[in-house]
Amino acid sequence: EAAGEKDDDAEAVLSRFQDLVRVLRAIKVDHDVPQSQRVHAEIGAGSYVDEIEDLEDRIVNLARLSSLEVVERLRAGDDGKARSITPAGIEAAVDLGGVVDVGLERERLARKIAQAEDDIARAAAKLADDAFVTKAPETIVAKERRKLQGAQVSKEKLEQQLQALGT
């Protein structure tokens, strides 16, 4: 290629690499695993197996993993593993069994979901009250709408984290 020309293939590889590292780090954050704690991960790379295997050492280093297993498809229903997927469809599963008490993590997430549901109910009740909406300053009403939206997003993310832990 001539100097200065874009290499679309290289950019796509780099983008998939960055997304995978980001997903692996996010799983650790979502489940309160210290970033310094190294965990085992499995990657269902699909058609990107060779590409991910070539980058394995870099992924292990940047995502702070103890080890990485790259397969074409992840096994279904691995309990104790938090899962996520990149925009390119690369699946990631992080083994939390040795780091996090999965039962306690499920309980923690269930409590946070219940709190988010309470926040949603409280904000929705205020916004359903015509007297509040018509008499309160618009800034206060807008703040309640943001609270409602934030609680809904939070609940959805927590439910995804709970689902990612399996049954």
Q: How far is CA 117 from CA 45, 61, 110, 122, 158, in A?
A: 36, 38, 10, 9, 11
pLDDT digits (tens, 9 = 90+) for 23-46: 999 988 888 888 788 999 999 999
- Cα(105)–Cα(30) distance, rounded to whole angstroms? 10
**Mean pLDDT computed over 62-85:** 84
Per-residue model confidence (pLDDT) at position 31? 83
pLDDT digits (tens, 9 = 90+) for 110-120: 998 999 999 99
The whole model's pTM is what?
0.66
Contacts of 5 (CB under 8 A, 6+ apart): none
